[in-house]
Structure 1
Amino acid sequence: MRRPHADMRRPGTGTRSVPWNLVTWECAVMWQATAVREASRTGDYGKVIELVRQDRRMTQAQLGGAIGLSQSAVSRLEKRGARTYSTNILAAASAHLGIPPVLVGLADGRPQEHANGDDDVDRRKFLGGVAATAATPVLTALPDTAGPGGGQAAALRLPTSAYRRLDGSTPSRDLSEAVKPHLRLIQSITGTARGDADRNRLAAVGSEAASLAGWLAWDMGDNGSARAWYGSAVKAARTSGDLLLTAYQAGSLAQFEAHAGNGAEALNLTRRARRVLGDRRPPVADAWLLSVEALAHAADGDRRSADRALTASRAAAEALPEDPPPWPWVFTFGPEKVTACRVTCGARLGLADWVLSDDVGALTAGHAKQRALLVLDIAAGHLAGGRVESAFALARRALDTGVTYKSGRIVERARAVRRTLTTGAPPKVVRDFDERLHGVYL
């Protein structure tokens, strides 16, 4: 497929490479290409995916790995001609490639599910892959297939889950460029929904996607946008009528506010989440909300209340049943999560004995960006204990991760750690750290 300009070619073509922030512009031109338009018009959605995949210089194996399918399954998808497709698989592939859903027949309710053995196997593999990679709180799809609205909700949930799956290995800025149009599509479909039941299902889907947008904005260091998205997630959850989802989103906003230093607001949101669920809240909700409460007390400088909340959270976590927690608490919350929370609280309170934990397993959980933030908390603990060199050796490692993933949140946390050291003649490890930090522009 011909490029709009020679300078827009990718690496290996003899001209300069495509900056990722121009991908959206480039694709907007490509959608007008005759081959893609004709394939979409005739309903050959597999061909649409094949053409875009090739344009992205992506192999079938790479696309399959990203969405939980085998190479042969992707090959079958692309060669189906005008036959019908699984909406789940189409939604996942188009979301990963950044294809507007209308070009693969999703915006108007097409295509219909095509039930055969291969599709069922591939769908199970994809959904299983998404569910098995929950390093952050992942909101997965409810069994929601009654009527056209239910089918739309299920299809729209899959890209959100796929994007969350990519969060641990993809810069948030890149993911955010894909999530925003996904949110607009959800809003558009919700606006045309008929009946309260369909609107409620779609509102829940919108809440999940808005929460993801908030998480990505937070990681980019854009706290204003993060707060707005989390607020939208709470409102959409209320509209959906799902009490568990509403409490979860209120707790997520509380967690954000606690990390932002707004302890009073975080405590208020945590109490609100408990009130939503009443006395019948699931045990995992209690354990998690107690950890969020501890963060809020730490943000307010209240060591005693933070310690009390952490103790209660650990007791609740140790008593959790082995049964899978109810949606949306699909992530595992155990004592190791409380240990990590105690490290963060200790860093905020300047308590070295809280930060320097012996529970190494708890401090190595999560994906690279989460570990980097925890390492910076540990670095703060070393500083509080007077161990400057070890603190900045750790901080440098975490900063490198922040630069690799273009995480504004990690970089800003690294700057906060640096500000805690005031000395006229810093050692070499600090000077090296400063040199690296001062050259970071995300």
Structure 2
Amino acid sequence: MAATPVLDTLPDPADTTTGQAAALRLSTTAYRRLDGTTPSRDLSDTVESHLRLIQSLTRNATDDAERRRLAAVGSEAASLAGWLAWDRGDDGSARSWYGSAIKAAGSAGDPLLAAYQLGTLAQFEADNGNATEALNLTRRARRSLGAQRPAVADAWLSSVEALAHAAGGDRRSADRALTASRAAAETLPAEVPPWPWVFRFDPVKVAACRVTCGARLGLPEWVLGDGTEALATGHAKQRALLVIDIAAGHLAGGRIEVAFALAGRALEAGLQYRSGRIVERVRAVRRSLTSSAPPRVVRDLDERLHGVYL
């Protein structure tokens, strides 16, 4: 069961990583895959132990080329540790791990990996409402790549820029970035994405990003469409986050009953996977409704949230 997803994401044949670095990278990829079906709290200790092993091997490496390869693998593992901390709701640790991932990518001397880690931190900052910091990070990522960046990097970074603009309340700039991201995504080949991307980036991901931007901007017309529900195709935690965005769109459109029914569905996933990020996003939707006499569906959600500590 564990081998199948790992073998599906073997490093690109052009990647010359061998020996210890290759074995450690496969383990990191396996953990990234497990994140979709495993609570982050259950994975965190294992991933951090894995990262300490990589760091120890990197320090003790005598060959410069091997040290750079191990630094690249360490960057990927640190980024995963950051992602798991983000999901737990531990933003301070997430930011620290992402910073370590960027630093390790620099030690590896790989501009593509550095850009990936900068973009990932930008995504985190946008999610937390830090629009200026997120935009600065995406600009750094583009400078790291220069003009010879792969199409998937261009498509993905444009989507991150859209999230940053939405966090800053800039609808026009968010729309432009989404248009650029969709145009680039439509040109991508339908094959395994290049390292360090593990999951494919395609127009469906751009459409989901538009829903998230619409939720941040309070634009029901961006969130609610005929195919919106069908966008929730990722793993359970990703689906829950998208459902929260859809709930926010319904709430912005005045459909309170539907909004909080969806928020309740997302909360179930958040509790099942012990995801602090999902639970806090549900709480944010609840805070956005101010009413002295909320309907029953809202009171039910309040009762379910009471006593939840994640």
**Does residue 1:295 correspond to 2:148, yes or no?**
no
Distance 1:161 1:304, change over 3 A: same
Aligned to 1:198: 66
Give how far 1:326 is off.
Answer: 2.4
Counterpart amino acid of residue 388 in structure 1: I
Aligned to 1:164: 32
Conserved in 2, the CA contact under 8 Å of 1:172 and 1:406?
yes
Conserved in 1, the CA contact under 8 Å of 2:159 and 2:178?
yes
Describe the SS at the equivalent of 1:328. Answer: coil
**Does residue 1:427 correspond to 2:306, yes or no?**
no
Number of residue pairs aligned between Structure 1 and Structure 2: 310
**Does residue 1:439 correspond to 2:301, yes or no?**
no
Describe the SS at the equivalent of 2:147. Answer: helix
Give the unaligned 5+ runs of structure 2: none
Conserved in 1, the CA contact under 8 Å of 2:5 and 2:30?
no
Describe the SS at the equivalent of 1:329. Answer: coil
Counterpart amino acid of residue 397 in structure 1: R
What pairs up with 1:49-198 in 2 under 5 angstroms? Answer: 65=1, 67-68=2-3, 127-129=6-8, 131=9, 141=11, 150-198=18-66
Q: Return the alpha-carbon distance in structure 2 between the equivalents of residues 369 and 127 of structure 1.
A: 20
**Does residue 1:250 correspond to 2:118, yes or no?**
yes
Distance 1:171 1:126, change over 3 A: closer
Describe the SS at the equivalent of 1:159. Answer: helix
Distance 1:255 1:362, change over 3 A: farther
Of residues 129, 135, 154, the one that matches 1:261 is: 129
Cα deviations across residues 139-196 of structure 1 (Å, max 9, x unaligned)?
x6456997xx931111211221111111011110110011111111111111100121
Give how far 1:365 is off.
Answer: 1.3
Of residues 215, 219, 231, the one that matches 1:363 is: 231
Distance 1:195 1:439, change over 3 A: same
Conserved in 1, the CA contact under 8 Å of 2:132 and 2:164?
yes
Give how far 1:417 is off.
Answer: 0.2
Of residues 242, 247, 258, the one that matches 1:390 is: 258
Describe the SS at the equivalent of 2:18. Answer: helix
Describe the SS at the equivalent of 1:423. Answer: coil
Give how far 1:126 is off.
Answer: 6.8
Counterpart amino acid of residue 290 in structure 1: S
Conserved in 2, the CA contact under 8 Å of 1:339 and 1:362?
no
Describe the SS at the equivalent of 1:184. Answer: helix
Greater displacement, 361-370 / 286-295:
361-370
Of residues 82, 98, 118, the one that matches 1:230 is: 98
Q: Return the alpha-carbon distance in structure 2 between the equivalents of residues 189 and 183 of structure 1.
A: 10
Q: Return the alpha-carbon distance in structure 2 between the equivalents of residues 354 and 341 of structure 1.
A: 10
Q: Return the alpha-carbon distance in structure 2 between the equivalents of residues 224 and 128 of structure 1.
A: 33
TM-score (norm. length: structure 1):
0.68
Aligned to 1:37: none
Describe the SS at the equivalent of 1:422. Answer: coil
Of residues 288, 296, 307, the one that matches 2:175 is: 307
Distance 1:171 1:289, change over 3 A: same
Higher RCO by CA contacts (8 Å cutoff, separation 6 or greater): 2
**C-alpha root-mean-square deviation of aligned residues, in Å?**
1.7
Counterpart amino acid of residue 167 in structure 1: D
Cα deviations across residues 399-421 of structure 1 (Å, max 9, x unaligned)?
01000000000000000000000
Conserved in 2, the CA contact under 8 Å of 1:380 and 1:391?
yes
Give the unaligned 5+ runs of structure 1: 1-64, 69-124, 132-139
TM-score (norm. length: structure 2):
0.95
Q: Return the alpha-carbon distance in structure 2 between the equivalents of residues 142 and 320 of structure 1.
A: 16
Distance 1:177 1:211, change over 3 A: same
Conserved in 1, the CA contact under 8 Å of 2:232 and 2:238?
no
Cα deviations across residues 189-229 of structure 1 (Å, max 9, x unaligned)?
11100121010000001001000000000000001100110
Distance 1:393 1:361, change over 3 A: closer
Aligned to 1:279: 147
Q: Return the alpha-carbon distance in structure 2 between the equivalents of residues 142 and 323 of structure 1.
A: 11
Q: Return the alpha-carbon distance in structure 2 between the equivalents of residues 361 and 353 of structure 1.
A: 14
Distance 1:174 1:279, change over 3 A: same
Q: Return the alpha-carbon distance in structure 1 between the equivalents of residues 294 and 11 of structure 2.
A: 52
Aligned to 2:249: 381
Aligned to 2:211: 343
Distance 1:144 1:154, change over 3 A: farther
Distance 1:126 1:357, change over 3 A: closer
Distance 1:194 1:142, change over 3 A: farther
Q: Return the alpha-carbon distance in structure 2 between the equivalents of residues 160 and 370 of structure 1.
A: 20
Counterpart amino acid of residue 377 in structure 1: D
Counterpart amino acid of residue 384 in structure 1: A
